Amino acid sequence: MLNDSILISAKDLKKTFTAGNFEVQALKGVDFELREGEFAALVGPSGSGKSTFLNLVGALDSPTSGELRVVGQDVPKLSKEQRADLRLHSLGFVFQAYNLVPVLTAIENVEFVLELQGVKAERRDRAMEILNELGLADLADRRPSELSGGQQQRVAVARAVVSRPKLVLADEPTANLDGTNAESLMDMMLGLRNKNGMTFLFATHDQRMMNRAERVVTLEDGVIRGDHKQ
């Protein structure tokens, strides 16, 4: 039976990369479920498969085998266009390296998502609304080069959530931030979950982020070794 509150369901999910004439089994059979409203950390040593898993969930890459449903969609069966649609309308992404468009101001970076979605009216207002909500209004007209790393990442979160996605995926979002900025990014993400019911799954090495998570899922060598609520 389908259950709307399950946003991610992976069964025996595998991903093998072929590099030259050798293979890397990045995921060796992952079973995982994430429910609406969860605030979960994906942890594990470098090379354990965290980014690979997030990329599959984000429909940025395709599994080698196994089942994967994300926000009700059967990801391996989707066409390229349908995958793009899933990313654009149901998912938000935050990356380690912020990835803001350098020639656009903060508000233009946020508006850009709405433009891609074909939203015509009120783009500026909606972008300003989320910047306001996240306390970033005074940064609206600055370009990324005029922002600190912490500020860039906060703008990147605004961009990720402006279209109110159900599920936000973040790959080591605090890896380049100092302690204060990392804490404030966590506060921002937790606030979005608490206020808007958005669901978060973030990969991290950062002990402080792990401590703030409500669930910690540990990947090791391509399999889930631990899964604890805290």
Binders of ligand ADP among residues 41 to 60 (CB under 6 A) are 44, 46-52
Strand order from edge to edge, sheet including 6-19: 22-35, 6-19, 65-70, 73-74
Which of these ranges, 49-57, 62-70, 74-82, 140-148, lies near Mg ion under the rule CB under 5 A?
Answer: 49-57
Closer residue to ligand ADP (CB): 51 or 109 = 51
Does 173 interact with ligand ADP (rule: CB under 6 A)?
no
Where does this chain touch Mg ion (CB under 5 A) — which range of 13-21, 42-50, 178-186, 191-199? 42-50
> What three-state secondary structure class fits 13?
strand
Backbone angles phi, psi at 131, to 5 degrees: -60, -40
92 in contact with ligand ADP (CB under 6 A): no
Question: Who contacts 220 (Cβ-Cβ below 8 Å, separation ≥6)?
Answer: 44, 45, 48
Residue, CB closest to Mg ion: 51
91-94 vs 6-19, strand pairing mode: unpaired
Round to whole Å and give the CA distance between 184 and 26. Answer: 32
**49 vs 139, which CB is nearer to Mg ion?**
49
Q: Quickly count: other Cβ atoms within 10 Å of residue 18's Cβ.
A: 9
Question: CB 134 → ligand ADP: shortest distance, Å?
Answer: 27
Q: Cα–Cα distance between 169 and 72 in angstroms, integer?
A: 16
Judging by DSSP bridges, how do beta strands 65-70 and 6-19 pair with one another? Answer: antiparallel
- The window from 18-26, 69-77, 90-98, 179-187 that contacts ligand ADP (CB under 6 A) reads 18-26
Is there binding between residue 19 and ligand ADP (CB under 6 A)? yes
Work out what residue 24 binds among ligand ADP, Mg ion, none; the CB cut-off runs from 5 to 8 Å by kind: ligand ADP
Which residue's structure tokens are 């709307």? 4
CB of 165 closer than 8 Å to CB of 90:
yes
Q: State the binding string over 103-122 for ligand ADP (x if CB under 6 A, else -).
A: --------------------
From 48, 51, 152, 181, residue interacting with Mg ion (rule: CB under 5 A): 51
| Token reading at 218 | 């540990």
Q: Which residues bind ligand ADP (CB under 6 A)?
A: 17, 19, 24, 26, 44, 46-52
Q: Which residues bind Mg ion (CB under 5 A)?
A: 50-51
